[in-house]
Amino acid sequence: MLVSLQLGSLIAPAYACGCGAMVVDRNSRVTVERETSVVSWSGGTEQIVMQLTVRGNAPAAAWIMPVPHRASVELGDAALFSELATLTAPVHKTRHYFWPRAKDWPFGGSDRASGSGAAPSAAAPVGVVGRERLGPFDVARLTATDPAALEGWLAENGFELPDRLSTALRPYVDQKWEYVAIRLAPQQPGGPLLGRLDPLRLRFASDGPVYPMRLSRLATTPQSLGLYVLAANRMEPRGAIGGAPPEVTYAGRVGAGQEKRAYPALGALTGGKPVFVTAIDQAFPRPELIDGDHELRAAAADTPYRTTYYRDELLTAGPVPAWVLSLLGAAVVAVAAVLLVVRARRRRPVAPPPVTVPPPLR
């Protein structure tokens, strides 16, 4: 154990993504350029599909993710992320304004405005409940009642982690969570760990949808989270857990027939059932402030939403601005009214002189 702690003090600090801790040896580096995750929850069963895009010179890296109950692990379908990106993509619309603005004629040039069941206690401090090779991943599924023992087991089996991870893991150990420990290696032996990795799919029992975030407080650089939540209703995090306020960028229901035709990977994940998709973005400028995991709950209403970017354009009729035509029309109407008044005055009949009645004769 002492040797493993000494090794932990020599390796580089953990790079954290929204779903766990990533580490490399002291002579290497790796950064997570992008981390995208999908949380699907239905009837007490949760699935997390996550995909990492990494950059660096490390020949291997280690990553660990806590889960509330025993998890099964398999490779995910990369098409799921492209389908969800298409489904939730922002829309671009044009909206018109009438009166000219600063960049319009006659003030300036043309306008180019842009829009705006609990895990069982193991008899030993660490229990190995499964280990398998999945594509480029060496996956170990563990139970642990002692974070130091977990760290020692990981070090002995090629998963070297910093000693400060023991403290970060303590809340999960106290709750008797289990862990998925993964060693990441490049597809080509001897090459660096680089690019978009194959997605992993975890499935486990859960009393409610949760997305583990606590280990991300080990990160030394600002973090961002992109999360798709699939459930019966529109979902939202219970709190910001130390980051900026979560932002919903998409919320909408997808029907079973629509899933099957246009989104087969999404339909396969949800079993072909209708699902409400909520896309959430969140920034963590100071990851050391992260104080918990994301607990997800149903929003007050299933209000649909889609991010919309507007392009503002001056209203025209062909090449002519509408306001110019409007002023010209008003001028024509005014001139016509004046002409009518003048003509009316010219045609007004002259009243005859008054008739004087002579006085009666006497």
d(CA 221, CA 274): 38
- Which pLDDT belongs to residue 187? 65
DSSP string, 234-268: -EEES--TTSSPPEEEEEEEE-HHHHHHH-HHHHH
- Which pLDDT belongs to residue 188? 67
Residues of the chain with pLDDT under 50: 1-16, 18-19, 110-123
- Which pLDDT belongs to residue 350? 64
- Which pLDDT belongs to residue 202? 94
- Which pLDDT belongs to residue 18? 45
- Which pLDDT belongs to residue 35? 76
Peptide bond into 106 cis (omega under 30): yes
Asked if residues 259 and 272 have their Cβ atoms less than 8 Å apart, the reply is yes
Which residues are 277's β-sheet partners?
A: 230, 252
- Which pLDDT belongs to residue 114? 41
Mean of pLDDT over the chain: 79
- Which pLDDT belongs to residue 57? 79
The model's pLDDT over 275-284, given as tens digits with 9 standing for 90+, comes to 999 999 998 9
d(CA 91, CA 262): 18
Asked if residues 158 and 151 have their Cβ atoms less than 8 Å apart, the reply is no
- Which pLDDT belongs to residue 210? 95
pTM, two decimals, is 0.74
